[in-house]
Structure 1
Amino acid sequence: MGHKLLALLATTVIASGGAQAQEIIFAHGENPGNPRYVAAEEWAELFTACTGGEQTVNVAPSATMGDDVEMLTSVAAGVIQVTANSQGAMSQIVPEIGLIGLPFLFEEQTTAWEVLDGEIGDMLDEHAQQAGLKILGFWDNGIRHVSHVSKAVPSPSDISGMKIRTPPDQMTIDIFQALGASPAPLAFSELPTALQSGVFDGQENPLINIYTSKIHEITPFITLTGHKYESTPVVAGLAWWSGLDEETQNCALEATAEAGKLQREMSLEANDSLRPTMEAEGVTFTAADHQAYVEATASVYEKYSAEYPELVEALQSAVGQ
């Protein structure tokens, strides 16, 4: 809890005659330096200030409240109130969320933000509410690339047979199965140890996640595949959300949007600026054969178009495909 927040809380308690503020938990899985970590701290200050100190926030970072799936379960159960989570984990509960990660759907992060801030985001929120979750907004988790312990993978044939860690996300698993790799899900917090022990040949993530978790030190060969985009859905428990008055609900939405601007800007800047930093630390970057990868993953669209025709069509229409 930051000094500003403590000062605000103390002032509020005094002003209200010592009344006890209500504390909520905002949990996430990232470490200091990651945009999600910074934005969560910002969210806490904004939400507390907006509620006049009637609500305070205990930010629980670095998977201290469990991995992403466990945090979502805790949110639905009311153990914690809000989580900045992962698209992959949430797709286990709300499968439609996984469609954001259709291969090569978004070539630019900014395009994804425009789509998710509009009608598509509202549609996904409706599905989430049916599962007892409320989407407050979508932060960014970047365009994803493949990193390998010993080689570049510029074409699908290079990735064939690769033991690759994925999030617990069926879409990502389907993409790498289509590419001929051997994908397996694992919690992000367990990934460095699994890579060091040789369980995997590599993994896939946006550059900022690779860097702040120091995975580039274990897998210094990064191929700029850009195979999918992922969001960071900011999710509240629907029961908690429904119990708030409209003013407090608006505080949560506004805090998510404002902290999200910071988070998105940091993520975009990192995507543009991290490459020379990582090269100086020993990373070798390689371009991918974009068209070959697109063609190799076409079957993924066939699968999901059959399962979710309206939403896939809406997403493709939104990006002009």
Structure 2
Amino acid sequence: MKRLPLCLALAATVAFAASAMAEELVIGTNGKPGNPRVTAAQLFGSLVEQWSGGKYTVKVAHSATLGDDRQMLKSVRLGTMEMTVNSDGPVAEIVADLNAFGLPYLFTSLPQAWQVLDGEIGKSIAAQLDGKGYVLLAWWDNGLRKITHVSKPITSPADIEGMKIRTPQSQVTIDAFQALGANPAPLAFSELPAALQSGVFEGQENPLANIYSSKLHELTPYIAKSNHKYEMAPILASKRWWDKLSKEDQDLIQQAMDAATWYNRGVFLISDAELEQKLKDEGAQFSEVDTQAFKDATAGVYAKWEEELGDIVPRIQEAASNAAQ
């Protein structure tokens, strides 16, 4: 049997040793393959692996394989998972001020929401998360949301009166749909397709990126362009893990996350028009809604949450108004 030349054998040995010594970082998400949260996490992983020279490898645990959002948040807090691409509802259970971002019709565009997230209010929430055992690495996007129904188009609040609709684990979203006369109930995103197939719900609400990547339009083909609320996807790291890193490694990971953040946001920004056509080609039927009627029906949600949260509600309304100018 031929022997490898000594230089090749040494190179193979060094490469194997480097691979064996690489530290694996795990970033968990409930997103399905093809979802912008997953593709952005994969980009982040590639950048970390390249820029660290192989010191780190990154495993993207998608499709809630390591638990739902609440379970992943617990794992991150305990330090058994390094990072999670989470949903704002469960994170708002940790820092209540985050609920304000989910108020109905607060934002009319994605860049408007980003400006507020990247400003003083977003920094204040990040500081509160730090005190709870989390390091906020980024605010990724989860889009402006649409309502889907299994059997009929939706154009006004009357069309969803009594509707059994799945919402994310977000109390402010539940409040908004109760104000609209629907019958909302929260459910983990990973369990949604099965619940729709079994008839537990008549519909759900999500951005087009989530609807398309999870094939929810095959179950609820009527899509109302309601844009009733905005959601972000906070990227949280374990403070226990983060504080053990060198400043150099923290900077490397943060720079990779910053690059992946603008990719994620860019995909959401340009995807709606493209996805609308794809969804139509696959049988989805879109409807416009009476936006003012939806706004009027949900106006009382602001009063409830201002009573609960205090001045964060008028402050975020002012910040959103300033960002829109």
Which residue in 2 is equivalent to 1:70?
Answer: 71
Distance 1:37 1:290 in 2: 31
Q: Deviations over 1:230-272 (max 9, x none)?
A: 0011110111112222221122221111011111111122112
Q: How far does residue 19 in structure 1 lie from its aligned partner after superposition? A: 7.5
Which residue in 2 is equivalent to 1:309?
Answer: 310
Distance 2:130 2:208 in 1: 32
The code of the aligned residue for 2:179 comes to A
The code of the aligned residue for 2:37 comes to R
Which residue in 2 is equivalent to 1:265?
Answer: 266
Q: How far does residue 50 in structure 1 lie from its aligned partner after superposition? A: 2.9
Residue correspondence of structure 1 range 52-201 to structure 2 within 5 A: 52-201=53-202
Normalized against structure 2, the TM-score is what?
0.91
Distance 2:128 2:273 in 1: 33
Q: How far does residue 313 in structure 1 lie from its aligned partner after superposition? A: 2.3
Contact 1:13-1:20 within 8 A present in 2 as well: no
Distance 1:130 1:246 in 2: 20
Distance 1:225 1:164 in 2: 14
Q: How far does residue 21 in structure 1 lie from its aligned partner after superposition? A: 2.3
Which residue in 1 is equivalent to 2:245?
Answer: 244
Residue correspondence of structure 1 range 212-251 to structure 2 within 5 A: 212-251=213-252
Q: How far does residue 169 in structure 1 lie from its aligned partner after superposition? A: 0.8
Q: Deviations over 1:200-248 (max 9, x none)?
A: 0100000110111010011011111111000011110111112222221
> Structure 1 stretch 167-176 or stretch 237-246: which is displaced more?
237-246
The code of the aligned residue for 2:284 comes to V
Distance 1:78 1:172 in 2: 30
> Structure 1 stretch 177-186 or stretch 88-97: which is displaced more?
88-97
Distance 2:179 2:254 in 1: 38
SS at match of 1:137: strand
Q: Which runs of 5+ in 1 are unaligned?
A: 1-9
Q: How far does residue 89 in structure 1 lie from its aligned partner after superposition? A: 2.0
Q: How far does residue 142 in structure 1 lie from its aligned partner after superposition? A: 0.2
Distance 1:228 1:11 in 2: 53
SS at match of 1:226: coil
The code of the aligned residue for 1:197 comes to S
Q: How far does residue 153 in structure 1 lie from its aligned partner after superposition? A: 2.0
Distance 2:317 2:64 in 1: 34
Which residue in 2 is equivalent to 1:4?
Answer: none
Question: Where has structure 1 moved over 6 Å in runs of 4 or more?
Answer: 15-19
Contact 1:23-1:56 within 8 A present in 2 as well: yes
Give the direction of change, closer, same or farther, for the CA distance of 1:299–1:17 in structure 2 (3 Å limit).
closer
Distance 1:13 1:165 in 2: 52
Contact 1:96-1:127 within 8 A present in 2 as well: no
Contact 1:13-1:19 within 8 A present in 2 as well: no
Give the direction of change, closer, same or farther, for the CA distance of 1:15–1:282 in structure 2 (3 Å limit).
closer
Q: How far does residue 52 in structure 1 lie from its aligned partner after superposition? A: 3.0
Give the alignment's Cα RMSD to 1 decimal.
Answer: 1.9
Q: How far does residue 317 in structure 1 lie from its aligned partner after superposition? A: 1.4
Contact 1:12-1:53 within 8 A present in 2 as well: no
Q: How far does residue 63 in structure 1 lie from its aligned partner after superposition? A: 0.9
Q: Deviations over 1:83-102 (max 9, x none)?
A: 11111221222222222111
SS at match of 2:229: strand
SS at match of 1:320: helix
Q: Deviations over 1:284-315 (max 9, x none)?
A: 11111111111111111101112222322221
Normalized against structure 1, the TM-score is what?
0.92
The code of the aligned residue for 2:201 comes to F
Give the direction of change, closer, same or farther, for the CA distance of 1:286–1:241 in structure 2 (3 Å limit).
same
Distance 2:51 2:119 in 1: 24
Which residue in 2 is equivalent to 1:43?
Answer: 44
